Amino acid sequence: MFERFVNGFQVLVAIAAVVTVVLLLTVSPTVAEPAGTAVASGADLFVSNCAGCHGAGGEGGAGPALAGGLTRFSSIEEVVAFVSTGVPGAMPGFETRLGPDEIEAVVDHVWVELAGR
């Protein structure tokens, strides 16, 4: 009787081991993004990088108004290039301060939310 119990227990352990191995090989763990790698929202990036010169609502200040404007640009790609490189003596380029995804996020915010394009 004891041997049957031990044999039954061994079978259950073997099944559990097989199920564990199968689950380990088939289920991929969810990998969370490391803290600080997610791109901040365009609005947050605008406030922390642009509002000092262009105003919190893009109304202008030391820099030109952006709200309802950006008519000198025909595409959002032109604005991305402009923000990336800047204008010597007028506006700093942000390609060394912000990553490409961050520049695109802030430009998208300005283009859609502030300039209404």
pLDDT tens digits, one per residue of 68-103: 778 888 899 999 999 999 989 899 999 999 999 999
- DSSP of 47-78, one letter per residue? HHHTHHHH-TTS--SSS---TT--TT-SSHHH
Three-state secondary-structure class, residue 91: strand
pLDDT at 13 over 90: no
Q: What is the pTM of this model?
A: 0.64
Q: Are residues 51 and 76 in the same domain?
A: yes
Is 78 a member of any domain?
yes
- The span from the CA of 42 to the CA of 22, in Å, is 43
Which amino acid appears at position 83 of this protein? V
Tell me which H or E stretch contains 85: helix 76-85
Residues 48 and 76 reside in one and the same domain: yes
Residue 98 belongs to domain spanning = 42-114
d(CA 30, CA 22): 17
> Do 55 and 109 sit in the same domain of this protein?
yes
On whether residue 37 sits in a domain, the answer given is no
CA–CA separation, 63 vs 91, rounded Å? Answer: 8
Is 88 within the bounds of a domain? yes
Higher pLDDT, 17 or 116: 116
For residue 87, the SS3 value is strand
Q: How far apart are CA 50 and CA 61, in angstroms?
A: 11
